[in-house]
Amino acid sequence: MCGICCVVSLSVQHTAEDFFKKDLLCNLSRRGPNRSQQLTRTVSDLSYQCLFSGHVLHLRGSMTPQPVTDINNNVFLWNGEVFSGIHVEAVENDTQVIFHHLSSCSSESDILSLFSSVRGPWSFIYYLASTHSLWFGRDYFGRRSLLWQFNNELDKAFCLSSVSALSESDNQWQEVPASGIYKIDLKACAISKSLVLTLYPWKYRFKENEIEETFFNGLDQISKDLPACVSLRMNDSKLSLITPVVPLNRTVSENSVDSHCTNITNGIVTVEDLHGFLADEHKKKLVHHLIDVLSEAIKRRVLYLVRDTGQLSGKILSKPIRKAHVAVLFSGGIDSMLIAALADRHIPSEEPIDLLNVAFMIKEQNKQTKQKKQLELHSCEECFKKLDTTPVVNVSCFNVPDRITGRAGLKELETINPSRTWNFVEINVTLEELKRMRQQRISHLVYPLDTVLDDSIGCAVWFASRGEGFITNQGDLKPYTSSAKVVLTGIGADEQLAGYSRHRVCFKKYGLAGLNEELGMELGRISSRNLGRDDRIIGDHGKEARFPFLDEDVVSFLNSLPVSEKADLTLPRGIGEKLLLRLAAKELGLTASTVLPKRAMQFGSRIAKMENNNEKATDKCSRLQSVSVD
Ligand SMILES: *[C@@H]1O[C@H](CO)[C@@H](O)[C@H](O)[C@H]1NC(C)=O
Ligand SMILES: *[C@@H]1O[C@H](CO)[C@@H](O)[C@H](O)[C@H]1NC(C)=O
Ligand SMILES: *[C@@H]1O[C@H](CO)[C@@H](O)[C@H](O)[C@H]1NC(C)=O
Ligand SMILES: *[C@@H]1O[C@H](CO)[C@@H](O)[C@H](O)[C@H]1NC(C)=O
Ligand SMILES: *[C@@H]1O[C@H](CO)[C@@H](O)[C@H](O)[C@H]1NC(C)=O
Ligand SMILES: *[C@@H]1O[C@H](CO)[C@@H](O)[C@H](O)[C@H]1NC(C)=O
Ligand SMILES: CC(=O)N[C@H]1CO[C@H](CO)[C@@H](O)[C@@H]1O
């Protein structure tokens, strides 16, 4: 994870530095605490100047300060991870390797095929001196943030950056759409005094040499959000990138609805209900294929980091304790359980795994609702008893649903691997702290997104990934701060395996074909809805978000299956949604967690209950707007 930024001035009166705000620098350096560096390129006969700012979080290989340059005056900023696709030796650095490949590209299509072959998350900025062009963009899913800002009034200046800062006076920042990669011809810009962006969009390759011919139709969509002085076009020769995943299989088979589960009565789902499905050889094969690709994806994400085995965080009863290098955003739900269980396969056995579990204090209740809350907890306890686990239910204000399922999930993981140290980190957030940190930091990171949902999830993920809380040690709660630099999150599972309740609504109304449309659309917009935001939020702690469900091989496998293999929404909640994932979890030896219904983070952590006054998730969030400093 790194912070990258480039400011371009096309004005004779102003240097690029004049446009480079101090708070921007400050916010960038939090993403890359290990090394910050600036570099300027001035081309005075064409009157443009570029300032490149690179901030490095060191995770793998040798420390490589950014920006990197070469003898041809090219400049490269890289915020990414090459997990595969391009060969990187253990002693090499991916920033250097990609830059080296770029430097030896002799045409635009060479550059495009390079970025088409990288597997892993990335955003980058590349200045190619010989053609005076600036290239930049985000990977196919948009797993790394990149924002742009075009300066209208001072004309002739623009900026690209991993993060920005909310302020009242400035021009708007926007997320760079993850529709492809972009090129700006700075020489042409400086001469014509107008800004033209060339977009090279992603296209599917169906067979060898057979590239999707359909015209990319996102151009208008992107253009309409740009200021009038900026125009967007595509290359005349229709150059494009090749998507790293196969297209979604939209096959709707006639009799895909079989009823293994007719015995589910009164809506109570138990883990036994999953048995029937696994008796089917075909299903079982798919389940094992999913486990294999997901396990590989997690392996890449937990092994590619520096593991200094000498690092100890202290001693307990003369037994050395090792530092955790990997943490999981952990609700105890199916997605985070599966990630934790598979991470356990690959992380060295003596190394702890941090399970980050966030809870927001429920507002002081009046008596009536307090009773209701206790009832709610009580019935939850009942349902757990039915599922044969005994949660430690303590009626405390932080005992939110995710805390309860989190504790139960911990027990299951301890059963799967009793010798592993599982650090269940209880992160309790009070209203006061929430307000303070939102104002100081979180609102700037969520920006330019602005809804109530962005606020809830942004805040919940920020506190969870900070990793400051308490762990239980020999019966006592003691303060604990997670040292893990890699944070695994389950995002992408619901979008691909029909986990959200809106998918049930969609299925009821429009059937499987409609559900296909919905899922395809949701994966297409995950960059702008979630990933840029989550990357900015988690990166703010000098940590790196990694998303196993959005590994290219995992997505390709899931995309290749008809939707009826992934979910069966004729079945009740807790089993029908993400069915294939539940079966995988069952095969891994998980128990009650395999049949927990989906619960969105904002409700599970109770942040949505904390302040809101019957807002809709899609409303603009007034709490994010204020920039006043008191
Ligand atoms: C990078 O910075 C982090 C956070 O400040 C620190 O824990 C780590 O030791 C640094 N790594 C190197 C190689 O300097
Ligand atoms: C390359 O170096 C950067 C900065 O030190 C670091 O963040 C990144 O993890 C390294 N990558 C590899 C593959 O070594
Ligand atoms: C389009 O691509 C071709 C082939 O690489 C290149 O020669 C040409 O300059 C590009 N056109 C524009 C407008 O960028
Ligand atoms: C429940 O909470 C009380 C304080 O609110 C605490 O004293 C007690 O130890 C807790 N019990 C468990 C089992 O966590
Ligand atoms: C955090 O909340 C839990 C309830 O989930 C409670 O048991 C624990 O005591 C709280 N910790 C602190 C330090 O308040
Ligand atoms: C889509 O799924 C059907 C049914 O399983 C299968 O026959 C077909 O080969 C799949 N198509 C692709 C492109 O994977
Ligand atoms: C750490 C830091 O510098 N944060 C800043 C990010 O930007 C906002 C907006 O200017 C500042 O208020 C923060 O202090």
pLDDT in tens, 146-159: 999 987 655 678 99
CA gap 532, 258 in Å, rounded: 39
Ligand of minimum distance to the alpha carbon of 557: 6
Regarding the beta carbon of 556 and ligand 6, being less than 6 Å apart is answered: no
Regarding the beta carbon of 204 and ligand 5, being less than 6 Å apart is answered: no
Q: Ligand 3 centre and the CA of 212: distance in Å?
A: 20
Averaged over 338-356, what is the pLDDT?
Answer: 96
Confidence of residue 630 (pLDDT cuts 50, 70, 90): very low
- Is the domain 271-629 a CATH 3.40.50.740 member? no
Residue 339 has pLDDT above 80, yes or no: yes
Average pLDDT, the chain: 86
Q: What is the pLDDT of residue 533?
A: 96
Q: Quick one: which of 581, 541, 353, 341 has its CA closest to 461? A: 541
Distances (CA, A) of 274 to 190, 349, 490, 571, 595: 64, 30, 22, 11, 9
Q: What is the pLDDT of residue 17?
A: 86
Q: What is the pLDDT of residue 580?
A: 96
CA gap 231, 185 in Å, rounded: 12
Q: Ligand 2 centre and the CA of 96: distance in Å?
A: 9
Domain ranges of the chain: 2-242, 271-629
> Could you tell me how many helices (H) and strands (E) the chain has, helices first?
22, 25
Q: Ligand 5 centre and the CA of 542: distance in Å?
A: 26
Q: What is the pLDDT of residue 261?
A: 47
Averaged over 177-193, what is the pLDDT?
Answer: 91
Contact 29, 55 (CB under 8 A): yes
For the 2-242 domain, the top CATH level (class) is: alpha beta
Ligand of minimum distance to the alpha carbon of 198: 3
Ligand of minimum distance to the alpha carbon of 470: 5
Q: Which residue CA neighbors atom 8 of ligand 3 most closely?
A: 235
Top mean pLDDT of 23-27, 293-297, 378-382 is at 293-297
Cα 36 versus chain centre, distance:
24
Q: What is the pLDDT of residue 301?
A: 96
User: What are 112-149's pLDDT values in tens digits?
Assistant: 999 999 999 999 999 999 999 999 999 999 999 999 99
Q: Which residue CA neighbors atom 3 of ligand 4 most closely?
A: 394
H-helix or E-strand containing 406? helix 401-416
Q: Which residue CA neighbors atom 14 of ligand 5 most closely?
A: 428
Q: Which of 396, 410, 428, 470 to mutate to test the pocket of ligand 4 (most atoms within 8 A of CB)?
A: 396
Alpha helices in 438-492 (DSSP H): 443-446, 452-466
Confidence of residue 527 (pLDDT cuts 50, 70, 90): very high
Regarding the beta carbon of 392 and ligand 4, being less than 6 Å apart is answered: yes
Q: Closest ligand 5 atom, CA of 479?
A: 13
Q: Which of 27, 55, 167, 625 to mutate to test the pocket of ligand 7 (most atoms within 8 A of CB)?
A: 27
Full strand arrangement of the beta sheet holding 476-481: 476-481, 468-473, 422-429, 353-360, 326-329, 486-488, 544-546
Residue 187 has pLDDT above 80, yes or no: yes
Neighbours of 150 (CB within 10 A): 20
Q: Which of 23, 36, 438, 630 to mutate to test the pocket of ligand 7 (most atoms within 8 A of CB)?
A: 23
Helix (H, G, I), strand (E, B) or coil at 89: coil
Q: Closest ligand 7 atom, CA of 166?
A: 9
Residue 627 has pLDDT above 60, yes or no: no
Q: Which residue CA neighbors atom 7 of ligand 3 most closely?
A: 108
Q: Ligand 5 centre and the CA of 428: distance in Å?
A: 6
User: What are 458-500's pLDDT values in tens digits?
Assistant: 999 999 999 999 999 888 999 999 999 999 999 999 999 999 9
**Catalytic site positions:** 2
Regarding the beta carbon of 249 and ligand 1, being less than 6 Å apart is answered: no
Regarding the beta carbon of 93 and ligand 3, being less than 6 Å apart is answered: no
Q: What is the pLDDT of residue 306?
A: 75
Residue 433 has pLDDT above 90, yes or no: yes
Regarding the beta carbon of 505 and ligand 1, being less than 6 Å apart is answered: no
Q: What is the pLDDT of residue 211?
A: 67
Question: What DSSP string describes 96-113?
Answer: HHHHHHHHT--SHHHHHH
Q: Which residue CA neighbors atom 2 of ligand 1 most closely?
A: 34
Residue 196 has pLDDT above 80, yes or no: yes
Residue 367 has pLDDT above 70, yes or no: no
Regarding the beta carbon of 108 and ligand 3, being less than 6 Å apart is answered: yes
Angle, helices 579-587/281-303, rounded to nearest 10 degrees:
80
User: What are 250-284's pLDDT values in tens digits?
Assistant: 999 765 555 454 456 566 678 888 888 998 999 99
Whole-model pTM: value is 0.89
Top mean pLDDT of 195-199, 204-208, 549-553 is at 549-553
CA gap 138, 531 in Å, rounded: 11
% residues pLDDT > 70 (the chain): 86
Regarding the beta carbon of 407 and ligand 1, being less than 6 Å apart is answered: no
Regarding the beta carbon of 396 and ligand 4, being less than 6 Å apart is answered: yes
Q: What is the pLDDT of residue 629?
A: 41
Q: Ligand 7 centre and the CA of 627: distance in Å?
A: 10
Residue 56 has pLDDT above 70, yes or no: yes
Neighbours of 69 (CB within 10 A): 16
Averaged over 547-572, what is the pLDDT?
Answer: 96
Regarding the beta carbon of 237 and ligand 3, being less than 6 Å apart is answered: yes
Following CA atoms 621, 26, 531, 226 in sequence, which dihedral angle do they give, to the nearest 10 degrees? 70
Q: Ligand 3 centre and the CA of 202: distance in Å?
A: 17
Residue 313 has pLDDT above 70, yes or no: no
CA gap 328, 315 in Å, rounded: 24
Residue 24 has pLDDT above 70, yes or no: yes
Residue 409 has pLDDT above 70, yes or no: yes
Q: Closest ligand 1 atom, CA of 483?
A: 7
Residue matched to tokens 């090129």? 183
Q: Which residue CA neighbors atom 8 of ligand 4 most closely?
A: 394
Q: Closest ligand 5 atom, CA of 428?
A: 1
Provide Rg for the chain, Cα atoms. Answer: 25
Regarding the beta carbon of 394 and ligand 5, being less than 6 Å apart is answered: yes
- Whether omega before 448 lies within 30 degrees of 0, making that bond cis, reads yes
User: Worst-scoring range by mean pLDDT, 272-286, 371-385, 573-587?
Assistant: 371-385
Averaged over 545-567, what is the pLDDT?
Answer: 97
- Tokens encoding 124: 């980058």
Regarding the beta carbon of 66 and ligand 2, being less than 6 Å apart is answered: no
Q: What is the pLDDT of residue 612?
A: 66
Higher confidence at residue 310 or residue 506?
506
Q: Ligand 2 centre and the CA of 477: distance in Å?
A: 36
Measured at the alpha carbon of residue 151, what is the angle toward residues 181 and 137, in degrees to the nearest 5? 10
